[in-house]
Amino acid sequence: VISLTNSAGNLVFQNNIFEGYDSNFLINNFQAIVFGDDSGSLDNISFVSNIFNYGFFSIMLFPTYGYNLQINNNTFNCNYAGGIFLQSFINTNINGNIATFNNVQILYNTFIKLSNNEIINNSGEGLLLFECYGNTSNFNKITNNIIQTGGTGIRLENCEYLEIYFNTINISNDPLTALTNSAAVQLVSGNSRIKLENNILMNKRDGYAYSGEIGFQNTNDFNNLFSSGSNLAKWEGSDYSTLTEFKTASSTNQNSYSTDIQFNSISDLHLKNSPVQLLGTTISGITTDIDGDTRNSPPFIGADEPETMQVSLTVLLEGPYSGTGNMSTSINGSLPLLHPYNSSIHDGTESVPLDFFTSHTDIIDWIAVELRSDISTKVSSRVGFLLANGEIVDIDGISPLIFYVDPSLNYHALIYHRNHLPVISSGFVN
């Protein structure tokens, strides 16, 4: 449809609908909707708010060199090989696009900003970067993206100076067949100065949440790694089945999580429910999520900052009740560091440091709270502590419980204690 040759430049394509070939049977690079060859440079070109349908690729550009490429707020539908293929550009910004049954492939690029995109691919890689570079003052950035695929989410090879923050990546179990060599994030070889933080890395096809190597000055923390298979991560060629094993072997992800997360659907990776608070670390310059919602402090990891509801609850236990309005804290010194509730009540691994209870002497015991949309339908759960005065607080021993649910809806609160019968509120909490 569009051919860019002989050093084309200073062009803006905006608010168009481009129709390409249905390339299921006609496989040829020249069937890309936008095709730019190596006959010269391609500078200052923008694609804004367009719709691309079919084609071998939507946009396939490999100039001798290119500068300042903008691909923003476009929709890519059902391309045979992929949505975007780019080679040999400096200063590329890919923001706010929706790519369905597509992927993005970027080769030999410098200074890339890829943010707030939704990439839905039924197989293969969602995002491939090969020999992409930055420098100490200008890192490449992959932030606030949602990637859903049946293969590998992000694959990096020979890249350096790259920040990967606040992305949600899910390797789906559709098709249902296992793909044990798949990975939510895969670092193949020669990668250095890669910062991987605040990401949700899920693999429901029995593959890895993370596969990589040591690299040079790579950092990796505050992520949620989950796999439905027997191996959670691959590190330097060895498999590790649990987050604890992976932490020990790699000395990474010391503040990371490993919990199953519910999304709205296979094609909508906004958070439906998380059994635990997946709190990350604040990243300078990233104040909103993929939808433009303000990030909390500390932020929730992943592309979507979910809505929150703070719940203040008070309950008295008959066993330790003293009759004076307070409860006895006599077992405070014997409380477990890890919460004692089974996964049917709360599927999380919250724990506190060794000396926590010596500085929080007003704690009675661990408590579990569910929010239910009706008497029998569980929406979310949290664990916290019951104080002597009956207040239920978060595991910091001070703050009210916060649930990641829609605060505009009504919920019953169901409270569990391990030595008492559970009790549910007759009315709604808000």
What is residue 23's predicted lDDT score, i.e. its pLDDT? 57
Q: Is the pLDDT of residue 86 over 80?
A: yes
Nearest to 261 by CA among 200, 207, 194, 324: 200
- The confidence band for 61, taking pLDDT boundaries of 50, 70 and 90, is very high
- pLDDT for 79 equals 75
Q: Does the pLDDT of residue 7 top 70, yes or no? A: yes
pLDDT at residue 430 tops 80 = no
The pair of structure tokens assigned to 298 is 């500390």
What pLDDT is recorded for position 29? 57
Residue 297 has pLDDT above 60, yes or no: yes
Task: Label residue 25 by pLDDT band (50, 70, 90).
Answer: low
Contact 222, 255 (CB under 8 A): yes
Residue 278 has pLDDT above 70, yes or no: yes
Q: What is the mean pLDDT of residues 331-347?
A: 93
Predicted confidence (pLDDT) at residue 427 exceeds the cutoff of 70: yes
Q: Is 49 exposed, middle or buried (0-12, 13-18, 19+ CB in 10 A)?
A: middle
pLDDT at residue 22 in the model: 72
Structure tokens at 252: 């990474």
Question: What pLDDT shows up at residue 252?
Answer: 95
Q: What percent of the chain has pLDDT over 70?
A: 96
pLDDT given for residue 178 in this prediction: 60
pLDDT of residue 69: 98
- Measured distance CA(338)–CA(269) in Å, rounded: 30
- Apex 301 CA angle, 298 and 304, nearest 5: 105
Asked which of 18-22, 100-104, 122-126, 145-149 is least confident by mean pLDDT, the reply is 122-126
Q: Which residues pair with 86 in a beta bridge?
A: 61, 106
Q: What gap in Å lies between CA 181 and CA 377, rounded to an integer?
A: 37
pLDDT at 182 exceeding the cut of 70: yes
State yes or no: pLDDT of 304 exceeds 80.
Answer: yes
Higher pLDDT, 308 or 371: 371
pLDDT at 27 over 60: no
**Nearest C-alpha neighbor of 233 from the set 180, 176, 302:** 180
**25 vs 115: which has the higher pLDDT:** 115
Residue-level pLDDT at 48 = 99
Report the alpha-carbon distance of residue 249 to residue 256 in Å, rounded: 14
Per residue in 91-115, is it b (16+ CB within 10 Å) or e — as a string? bbbbbbbbbbbbbbbbbbbbbbbbb
- The 10s digit of each residue's pLDDT in 346-405 is 877 788 999 999 999 999 999 999 999 999 999 889 999 999 999 999 999 999 998 888
Instruction: Look at 108-117, 138-147, 261-270, 302-311 and tell me which has the smallest mean pLDDT.
Output: 261-270
Residue 272 is predicted with a pLDDT of 77
Q: What are phi and psi of 53, to 5 degrees?
A: -115, 130
Domains of the chain: 2-273 (2.160.20.10), 309-424 (no CATH)
Strands 160-165 and 192-197: parallel
With b meaning 16 or more CB within 10 Å and e meaning fewer, what string describes 202-214? bbbbbbbbbbbee
Span 87-133, pLDDT tens digits: 999 999 999 999 988 889 999 999 999 999 999 986 788 999 999 99
